Structures are given as structure tokens and as C-alpha cells.
Structure 1
Amino acid sequence: MKKMIKLLMSATMLLGLAACGGAGEQQGSDSTAAGNSTAEGASFDYADVKIGVLGHMQSGETLDALTVYMDALSEEVGFSYEYVVGSSYDEQTNITAVQNLIASGVDGIVLAIDSGTPAILQECEAAGVFLSAFITDMDSSFDELKSSDYYLGNVNDGLYDTSSIGEKAAELVIKDGNTNVGIVTFPLLYFPQKSAAIQAFTKTIESHNDTATEPIEIYETQELSFSALEDTYFNNYPELDSILSLASGFVHPTMVSADKTDVDLYTTGFKKDDLDAFENGEMRMMTLSNVEAVALPVAMILNAVAEKPFADQPEEAERIDTSVVFVTNEEELTALEEKCFYFTADIDQAFISPEDFTQYLTAYNPDASYEEFKEVLVNMSMEDLMAK
């Protein structure tokens, strides 16, 4: 029904009939709209466009930064958005949340979660609502989604190939002189892409062992079912001196409670509460993805609503990489604290400013390029941050 309404509105616009206030209204050079969307050259009024964002975050730095960023984009362009909390494992919670968003009149939904996604897509298709995703690799559902006209693709939580994380952690383990290392991860059944990090880590260590006078022993991988590492882990491996954690936030608290902060931790994920542990040398590596990467799925929804997709947009949806930001030393930590939007929530430090964002909306810039936007997302690394 929503799609039919938009088609009828488009036909009305072609006949030159002016209408007030609907999503799909053509914008003249002297018209006014919400936010700053009156920039010359804009050919679409987004004032009545609403985007839903569904994620598992209830609080924390990621949600704080995402909120500031979405506020800035919506103010610049004129659309509105609503963030709702879903579940990492309860499909029905997410399906119900999407049904509620659709009932509220959203034109598109950005998922920061992957549970119940095929059923969610069916709901969106039936309602004529576009779907995209952010900081999720969609491993459980991507093949079922990618050919739908209503699924626009997803931006991964960093690089889909996680090998670089494993390689970086292994290099640091070797540099730090550690010789007994454990690997902890979320279930590989649900996060199979983490296997690439484990394999790269193992391969790098094994290559080192070929010539090392003191080889490094790698213990059996421990999979966590979304619960904290148990204290008994350290009893099982009394010689342990380091851990590669692919289970963000679920290892360090146990190290503290078990009085094992002398073990070096190389972990994915980042929280401001971890800064003391990093500065004390307990954490030797942290990673994060830039929330500015949400700009691409939002832009694709806005372009789809305006019926103006990127000219170079592929017919089938893609997984899209974004930079992994590694923090491994004091210089990089300083750059994070002073220059990273994720940390400061200062919109002036965003890799993609709200003004730049409009140039990826085809209603503002008919020559906007999907491939160029993808290239921007993989040039938001620590090196790029330090070069600011």
C-alpha cells in the first residue's frame, strides 16, 4: 500500500500538481523544509520520511555516538528516525519491534542486529518498507535477503574477513614475549566469520614457532554462550600469560574477579571503562568500528524512498566493509581520545559530516556514487584518524 501511494504521488508530481507535506513531494528552489534540507539542488522533500533503527544496545558509547550522529543527519536532511531496542537472540522480540515500527509509519529500517531477519524482511516487503543493516555481518540470513528488492545491503562490523584482527593480535603477542595464549570467542555457529581471525592468529603464531627458541603454545579455543568467562578457565591453564578475546566485554571482568590482571588481553571491542585497564597494560589491543558507517545504509534508504538509487548500485545487495580501528599503544589511544567521533561524540570530528552526507543523496547530487561511498568507509582507520 505504501509503495502504491508513493507511485501515485510521483505521478502527481509529474503532472505538476503541488502538494504539501507528503514523503515524495518535489522541492522547489524557494521551498522550506525541516532541518537544513533546503540546500539548492535538492529535488526531494524528506520531511515526512521516517527511518526505524533496531539494535541490541540499551546504553553505552556506541548508542551514545549513534544517537548524536543520527540526530545530526536527520537535522541536516529533514527526515525523522526512531531507535528501538531488540534482542541478540530472541527472534520474536525483533519481529514484534519491526511490526511496531511499520505501524508507526516508517519508510525504512536499519538493523543493527541479526535475529529473525528473514521474517523481518517478509514484514517489510508486505508493507513496502526498505531494509538495510549496520555493524552486523548478517551471516545467519544474508543469502536469504540479498536478492530482495527491499533489502539494500549491510555494512559489516569492520571487515567481513576478520583475518587482520588475528594477525595483529598475534604480532603483538610475539612482540610482548608471551608464550602461553588462550583464545576466547562467541559461538562460532552464530559468528562463523570469527574463524578467520582464529585461523590467521594461529597461522602467524605457527610461522613464528618455526624459528623461535621458545615457541608459543596456543590453548584450545573457548566458546562463550553470551555469558562471562568462568573463573575456572584460569585454573585449567595456570601458565596462561595472554588471551585473544573475540568476545567483547566478556573476558576482562573475569580477569579482575579472578585476580588475573597480569594476563595480557588482546580484545575486540571498546568501552571507555576499559581505558584504565589499557593504560595499566592489562589490555594490549582494543578495536572499534566507526558509527559514521551508518551513513551508507541510511543514504540507501533515503535514495530508495526518493526512487533515485545510485546509478552504480548493484542489482543484488552486498555486504560492505568498513575500517577496523586498532588501538595498541599510547599514541593511538591519544588519537582516539582527541579525534575519534565514536569517543568524543563531537560531530565536527565525524569522518562523514552531515554536509558531506547530503552529497551521497541522489536528490541532492545526481552523480553520487555507491562505489565512492564504499571507498570512504574503508578509509576510516586509525591511520586515517591520526592523519586528521
Structure 2
Amino acid sequence: MKTSKKLMALALAGTMAASSLSMVSVSAEPKKATIGVCFYQDTGKAVDATKAFLESLSDTLNVEFKYGTFTQTDEAANLTKVQELIASGVDGIIGTMDLGTQSILSECEAAGVYYGGYLCDFDTSYTNAYDDVFGNPNFVGTVTDGHNPDDVCVGTQFFDSLIEYNESHADAPLTHVSMAIFPSWAFPAQATAADQFVATVDEYNKTAETPITVDPLDEEVDVLNFAPLDSTYFSKHPDTQAIMSFAAGTSFVYPTMVSAGVDSDIKLFTTGYEGGEESNFGSAGNQTYQQVIVTGVETIVYPLVLLLNKINETEFVDMPEKAERISTEQYIVNSDEDMELFVNSLYTTADVSAAAYTPEDVLNMTAFGNPDATYADLVSAVQCLTY
């Protein structure tokens, strides 16, 4: 029943979004534009699917896309990549890292190039350089990978998935869990999510017939400094039945579970998806994975549309005075039925026929392609992509 409700909600959201987009005629041909897109890694399911989606838009939007890769640690390397893209003649850039953003924007502003974010909350800039970044006329804003740090709900989402699992496995519920996160300096929202998860469990335990124990975060082994989980994790958490990995569990947690021989004994609820998780998801295989969460790649329409509006010298009538960072809902896959949908999605197949939006839909999101398009509608379009 829970899954049916989720699927109905997704279908309704998609129907509403399509009906608001597909009936409008295009009012102007877009100018020829070149957009650089710098991902957080060279390859991967999300990268491949995003590229396929963008290329499907190219002719209709009259855009050529150029691709590059940002690093999480080297500000100079990111600036150099931006300089290379500017030298190649791009009109706009979409970046996935908030590293050296002020320097990047200085380069962009001097060159008349617009800049937007994708799958990044730009929290460092938002907290420490708000006016310089979000007030910069060449910065169009960013769409976050999930909810912003001041709007975190993923801790509650993990809790909901845990409760759904326990309700479906009443004969063997998970009553003792542990956690894993990336460092707060890189992903502050994960520490917030872990606190939220604990608080939600504490509230649940006040009336629960079968309470749930959550091991407190052990800074030594639970905070993953972009390295695999240490094998001592399991001796530090000897009674854990499940790991709530707010970090990317497939890369950093699951391999250690396998090498330690606990992948059939301990469940993994995680963010991220890299491919192949479905073989051991839900009731399949060793049944390790019980949740994966990802952000739909179609959310890139947020910075893309805003960049193209600037390039085409148009603007929404309800455009905010300063650039914003927009939270997104995510695909929360926590049942066999969800996974069956997900493995056939754009995210996993890079098949653009499965995309939530057609090229014509995206053109109709723009101010130059649709005189009735609004900023509010654009935000709604990236916030309805969920199960």
C-alpha cells in the first residue's frame, strides 16, 4: 500500500508538470549558445545520464555542451578548468563544486559568462560569501543534491525507510543501527541529517513497543574522510543490524562489509547509486541494500534554464532579486517495486525516452520560449521528481 501511494504521487506529479508545459507554443527561437558543464567525477551513472539528457536538449535549445571535471580539494585546478572553458568561447558554465567560487565568478564576470550550480548547495559561499556569490549578477543560483542545510529532511527519510522495513519484516525488525557520514567540512548536511535521524528515533521510542537503539557517531570510524569504511567499524558497533550511511554507501561502506563477511548479516540504507545495487537490494541476492536515494538528473534544468534566459536576454517576471539555492525532492528507493521502476529510469539507463521532460518541455520552461513561463514553475519542475 505504501508503494502504491508513492507511485500514484509520482504519476500525479508528472502529469501535473507535463500539463503545465506541453500546451504552450514557443514564442522565439533561442540564440546559439555554448554551455560548459563541470561534473564532480569523470564517469558514473549520474554523469552519464546527465550528459545523455543534455545532449537530447541540444538541438531544440540550440545549445552545444562542453564537459569537464571539478575536484573536491584543488581550488586552483577548478579555476583553471573554468578559464579553459571561457577561453573556448562558452556563454555559461554549470559547476558541481563550491570551491574557489569567488575567484571563478570574478573570471566569469570579467568575461561576460554566466555561472550556475548543479547538485551542490554552495553552503560555504552561502555562509561566508553570500553577497559576493549569491549577489553576483553572473551567478544564476544552484539546485541542491536534495535539501539545503537549513532544510534537511533526509534524516527523517532514513527513519521512514527503516520503519517501512520493520513493518514489512515484523517477525525480524531492525532494532539496533549505526551510522556513517562524510566530514562536516565537506557535507555539513550529513551531520545534521544524522542528528535528525537520532532525534526522530528518540521521539519514536517514547511510545514504541519495540524501541530502536542508535549507536552514537564514533568520530574515529564513522566519519569517512573520503576513504572506505575501516574494518574496525564492526567491532566498534558489534550489535548493529543496519548501517544508515548518509555518505555514499556503495563506494565507501559496502566493499568493507563484503570483505568483512557481514554483507549478508547487516542491512545497508544509503544515499547514492552506482549501478549493480539492485542485485542485492530488497529481497534479491544477499539482501544487503534496503534503501538508495538519488536526485533526478533532470534537476539540471534549473541552472540551465536560468543561464539560457540570461544568454537570450530575457527574464521571468517573478525572478528573485538575488540568486537562490533550491532544495530538491529525491527518488527514495526502498522497496522491490521502487527498484523495478528505478532500474528502468533515465538515471540508471541513460535512455532519454525515460526522462521526466522532453526538449520541448524544457524550452517551454524558459522565458524566451514561453511568455507565460515563471520562475515558480521552474522551481516546481525540479521539486516534483520523487517516488
What TM-score bracket applies, with the shorter chain setting the length? 0.7 to 0.9
User: C-alpha separation between the residues in 1 aligned to 2:31 and 2:336?
Assistant: 44
Indicate the residue corresponding to 2:100 in structure 1: 116
Contact 2:27–2:371 (8 Å) recurs in 1: no
- Answering whether residue 177 of structure 2 is matched by residue 172 of structure 1, we say no
Indicate the residue corresponding to 2:200 in structure 1: 204
Contact 1:173–1:242 (8 Å) recurs in 2: no
1:7-156 equivalent positions in 2, closer than 5 A: 41-47=26-32, 49-142=33-126, 143=130, 144-156=132-144
Indicate the residue corresponding to 2:291 in structure 1: 285
Q: 1:226 is matched by which residue type in structure 2?
A: F
Q: Residues 237 and 126 of structure 1: is their aligned pair in 2 closer, same or farther, counting only changes over 3 Å? A: same
Q: Which moved more, 1:205-214 or 1:66-75?
A: 205-214
User: C-alpha separation between the residues in 2 aligned to 1:333 and 1:55?
Assistant: 25
User: C-alpha separation between the residues in 2 aligned to 1:102 and 1:42?
Assistant: 30
Contact 1:52–1:82 (8 Å) recurs in 2: yes
Indicate the residue corresponding to 1:246 in structure 2: 246
User: C-alpha separation between the residues in 1 aligned to 2:110 and 2:300?
Assistant: 25
Q: Residues 41 and 378 of structure 1: is their aligned pair in 2 closer, same or farther, counting only changes over 3 Å? A: closer
| SS of the residue 1:374 aligns to | helix
Indicate the residue corresponding to 1:315 in structure 2: 321
Structure 1 residue 187, shift from structure 2 partner: 0.6
- Answering whether residue 354 of structure 2 is matched by residue 349 of structure 1, we say yes
User: C-alpha separation between the residues in 1 aligned to 2:259 and 2:103?
Assistant: 41
Structure 1 residue 291, shift from structure 2 partner: 0.5
Structure 1 segments unaligned to the other structure (5+ residues): 1-38, 383-388
Indicate the residue corresponding to 1:271 in structure 2: 274
User: C-alpha separation between the residues in 1 aligned to 2:202 and 2:302?
Assistant: 39
Contact 2:25–2:370 (8 Å) recurs in 1: no
Q: 1:180 is matched by which residue type in structure 2?
A: H
- Answering whether residue 385 of structure 2 is matched by residue 380 of structure 1, we say yes
Contact 1:185–1:246 (8 Å) recurs in 2: yes
Indicate the residue corresponding to 1:256 in structure 2: 258
Contact 2:142–2:325 (8 Å) recurs in 1: yes
Q: 1:227 is matched by which residue type in structure 2?
A: A
Indicate the residue corresponding to 2:146 in structure 1: 158
User: C-alpha separation between the residues in 2 aligned to 1:129 and 1:44?
Assistant: 21
Indicate the residue corresponding to 2:232 in structure 1: 232
TM-score w.r.t. structure 1 length?
0.84
Structure 1 residue 200, shift from structure 2 partner: 2.1
Contact 2:152–2:189 (8 Å) recurs in 1: no
Structure 1 residue 40, shift from structure 2 partner: 7.8
Indicate the residue corresponding to 1:294 in structure 2: 300
User: CA offsets per residue over residues 302-355 of structure 1, 9 Å max, x none?
Assistant: 1101110212111100111222110001111111123x2212322222112111
Contact 1:44–1:306 (8 Å) recurs in 2: no
Contact 1:321–1:374 (8 Å) recurs in 2: no
TM-score w.r.t. structure 2 length?
0.84
Q: 1:246 is matched by which residue type in structure 2?
A: F
Structure 1 residue 42, shift from structure 2 partner: 4.7
Contact 2:142–2:324 (8 Å) recurs in 1: yes
- Answering whether residue 187 of structure 2 is matched by residue 191 of structure 1, we say yes
| SS of the residue 1:284 aligns to | strand
User: C-alpha separation between the residues in 1 aligned to 2:57 and 2:97?
Assistant: 21
If you compute each CA radius of gyration, which structure gives the higher value, 1 or 2? 1
User: CA offsets per residue over residues 118-145 of structure 1, 9 Å max, x none?
Assistant: 2111111111110100111111113241
Q: 1:258 is matched by which residue type in structure 2?
A: A
Structure 1 residue 43, shift from structure 2 partner: 3.3
Count of residue pairs the alignment pairs up: 342
Q: 1:154 is matched by which residue type in structure 2?
A: T
Q: 2:223 is matched by which residue type in structure 1?
A: E
User: C-alpha separation between the residues in 1 aligned to 2:159 and 2:368?
Assistant: 46
User: C-alpha separation between the residues in 2 aligned to 1:194 and 1:268?
Assistant: 10
User: C-alpha separation between the residues in 2 aligned to 1:167 and 1:255?
Assistant: 25
Structure 1 residue 180, shift from structure 2 partner: 2.1
Q: Residues 211 and 40 of structure 1: is their aligned pair in 2 closer, same or farther, counting only changes over 3 Å? A: closer
